[in-house]
Amino acid sequence: MKIGIYQGPPTGGDAEAGLARIRQQLDAAARAGARMVTFPELYLPGYNQPALHLGQSQPRGGDWCNRLAEMARASGCGLTIGWAERDGDAVYNAATAFGPDGAVLAHYRKVQLFGPMEKASFAFGDAYSLFEFDGRTCALMICYDVEFSHHLQALARKGVDLVLVPTANPAGFENVSRLTVPAQAYTHAVTIAYANYCGTEGDLLFGGHSLVAAPDGSVLAAAHTTETLIVTDIAHDADPALLSTQLADYREIPE
């Protein structure tokens, strides 16, 4: 199966421009054979936009969701994307996966909020979100979530083998792409698609370096620090003898 990652600049709070870019990139990925493309965290209305998180957040099934579903259906390519979700008085840092037919496959709310801005803007998520897609058991995570090994372990125990991760990782934290994501993929024998921003948003510079890491920890495809659409086949012939067996071998130590 081929999947895509879009690494691009933030929308700057311009949701219409963001939606137009999503359509363009989805169409390009579909032409390259991608079945699913992952976009960055809070792509709508923007990550470093705390004033807009409250003011522009939308409910599930609202205008953004309807238009994203239509884009996925029109392109014939699935779409995973981060956005600001309104649910009553609460706002969540959320991600939704749409199938190539436009149907909602999964919806997820970020569990591990990072830093003062996120914790001031959003309520905490409290559940994993799994779905079946093209013969794989998939899950959604968002940025900081994927750095917590116990979350990956919980997903691996549920049979997940592909994790899609919209992210907004700042410059200076390139070790997450370079070290943490491949290590998590190897430790838990999963494929991880990690889609970051590049460029700046207000006073925040993003680090880029989006990537797809295989279950043996190898990097199947990676971006640098400029706008990039990656499409790569995640069918990977890793030597089974070299894959991690930690899931089967793990032992609890009584306290």
| Active-site amino acid positions | 41, 110, 143
- Give, as one character, the DSSP assignment of residue 124: P
User: Is the separation of the CB atoms in 188 and 162 below 8 Å?
Assistant: no
d(CA 96, CA 138): 12
Q: At what angle do helices 181-188 and 149-157 cross, to 10 degrees?
A: 30
Q: Kindly calculate the radius of gyration of the chain based on its CA atoms and give it in whole angstroms.
A: 17
Kindly state the tokens that stand for 43. Answer: 């792509």
Q: Which residues touch 244 (CB under 8 Å, ≥6 apart)?
A: 186, 187, 188, 189, 215
Q: Give the strand pairing for 36-38 and 2-7.
A: parallel
Residue bearing tokens 């436009």? 102
Q: Where are the beta strands (DSSP E) in the chain?
A: 2-7, 36-38, 78-87, 90-98, 104-109, 130-133, 136-140, 162-166, 191-195, 200-201, 204-205, 211-213, 219-222, 228-233
Q: Residue 244: CA atoms inside 13 Å, Cβ hemisphere, count?
A: 20
Q: Residue 91: CA atoms inside 13 Å, Cβ hemisphere, count?
A: 21
- Give, as one character, the DSSP assignment of residue 206: B
